[in-house]
Chains A and B, each alone.
Chain A
Amino acid sequence: MTGPGDLGALARLAEELLDDEDGRLLDEIARLYDRIDPMPADLVERIGFTLTLAHMEIELARLTLESRTPVGARGEERARTVTFSSESLTVMVTITPTAHRECRIDGWIAPGAPIRVELRSDRGSRDAIADVDGRFDFAEVSCGLVQLVFHPTPDIEVQLRSPVVTPAVQV
């Protein structure tokens, strides 16, 4: 398969101009990757949340761990625990479905400090102040894309240089 004749054939084929068969083959390759590994359908929408903050100096947190645990006796509802990490902060967030198309978000910031937390969604934004241990919560959050922003807060021990922004996630 890799004899000297084949290498000659390879070199000749490589030097030819692209033809329609190459075009068809590349289309087939695109279809293949679209099938086995497509871009997540909501990625552009999620990124849009962060792009609206492009005018600000921000620190981006990464989603580093995600797990699901059953809640309730029959375990049909699943609570999600998501961990976001950035240079300045680590935040663990538990998202628990409560009512129809609503959930509750409980978060824990490390290092703990009464940081102002903003919850951004399609419907606007809400604020909460974490307690001294870094715990915060948002009740009655409508399902959809949300993003958390941890703002530099004056007169507390943890001083952020710029807001820390999580990627937008579906709740």
Chain B
Amino acid sequence: MTSEATRSGTSRTGTGLSACIAALLIAHRTGDRDAMASLVRQVAPLLWHVARSFRLDVGSAEDVVQNTLLAFVRHSGEIAEPQAALRWLIVTARREALRSIQLRDRVELVDEAARTMPAPAEDEPERIVLAQATQRVLWRNIAKLSERCRQLLRVIAFAERPDYAALSSALGMPIGSIGPTRGRCLAKLRLLLSADSEWSSS
């Protein structure tokens, strides 16, 4: 899992997930039987973080990942431009997540039992024991960002630099949210961290 997260290493200048997904989609179309399974493994963590960034409970987030990938497998022949496949996946995951929220809000009006589902981890940072001081300080400052910024940073953290623009637009964030420039969300986080004495010393 961690190796997935840090696939790009600290440089983050790989060819990007878009290119990787595109190559696997092309391989799948030309009859490579393992290509779709690799594609699913590559992109699933990113879809998970998209779903959870909408504060869905675990079960609903799993459904979002499943439904998005099922739709992708079914429509993989119709995606004209393989380079756009990653964007297609994120747009679909976002739509599925929003649909899940609508469904939940409707159900909650009549069914209090739905509330017994575990709350998303993001709601309870205090309960999470972060052993490393760096991560505690980082979490404390991420929590000060707007929800939209937290969502954007969480998702792009699992991608590479060439993907940032496509991902932020797929998430419905304005152009210029990130890449090639830093954008406001990352800038804000850097300002917050530089003002946190524990961050500079950690």
Chain A contributes a number of interface residues (CB within 8 A of B) equal to 47
Q: Are B180 and A23 in contact (CB under 8 A)?
A: no
Question: Is A65 an interface position by the 8 A CB rule?
Answer: yes
Number of residue pairs A-B, CB distance < 8 angstroms: 156
Per-position 1/0 for A24-39, Cβ under 8 A of B: 1111111111111111
Q: Are B44 and A18 in contact (CB under 8 A)?
A: no
Write the nearest CB–CB distance from B189 to chain A, whole angstroms.
7
Q: Are B5 and A43 in contact (CB under 8 A)?
A: no
Q: Are B52 and A37 in contact (CB under 8 A)?
A: yes
Chain B contributes a number of interface residues (CB within 8 A of A) equal to 67
Among B5, B121, B161, which residue has its beta carbon within 8 angstroms of that of A36? B121
* Chain A residue at smallest Cβ distance from B75: A54
Q: Are B161 and A18 in contact (CB under 8 A)?
A: yes
User: In whole angstroms, how far apart are the Cα atoms of A26 and B136 in the complex?
Assistant: 15
On chain A, the residues within 8 Å of B179 by CB distance are 18
Question: Is A76 an interface position by the 8 A CB rule?
Answer: no
Task: Specify which of A17, A18, A26, A64 lies most central, judged by the most chain B CB atoms within 10 Å of its CB.
Answer: A26
On chain B, the residues within 8 Å of A155 by CB distance are none
Q: Are B37 and A32 in contact (CB under 8 A)?
A: no
Question: Is A70 an interface position by the 8 A CB rule?
Answer: no
Q: Do A25 and B37 contact each other (CB < 8 Å), given the known contacts A33-B157, A35-B130, A43-B48?
A: no
* Chain B residue at smallest Cβ distance from A36: B128
On chain A, the residues within 8 Å of B67 by CB distance are 60
Stretch binding the partner chain, chosen from A5-13, A101-109, A138-146: A5-13
Write the nearest CB–CB distance from A33 to chain B, whole angstroms.
6
Question: Is B24 an interface position by the 8 A CB rule?
Answer: no
Per-position 1/0 for B177-202, Cβ under 8 A of A: 01111111011111101010000000
Write the nearest CB–CB distance from B123 to chain A, whole angstroms.
11
Q: Are A28 and B135 in contact (CB under 8 A)?
A: yes
Q: Do A31 and B135 contact each other (CB < 8 Å), given the known contacts A26-B156, A54-B73, A62-B59?
A: yes
Q: Do A29 and B122 contact each other (CB < 8 Å), given the known contacts A15-B182, A44-B40?
A: no
Q: Do A54 and B74 contact each other (CB < 8 Å), given the known contacts A13-B191, A44-B44, A65-B113?
A: yes
Task: Specify which of B37, B70, B116 lies most central, judged by the most chain A CB atoms within 10 Å of its CB.
Answer: B70
Q: List 24 A-B contacts (CB under 8 A).
A: A10-B187, A10-B188, A15-B182, A16-B181, A16-B187, A18-B178, A20-B11, A23-B10, A25-B190, A26-B153, A27-B6, A29-B138, A32-B130, A33-B157, A34-B2, A36-B139, A39-B44, A39-B49, A40-B58, A41-B1, A43-B65, A47-B65, A47-B69, A65-B113
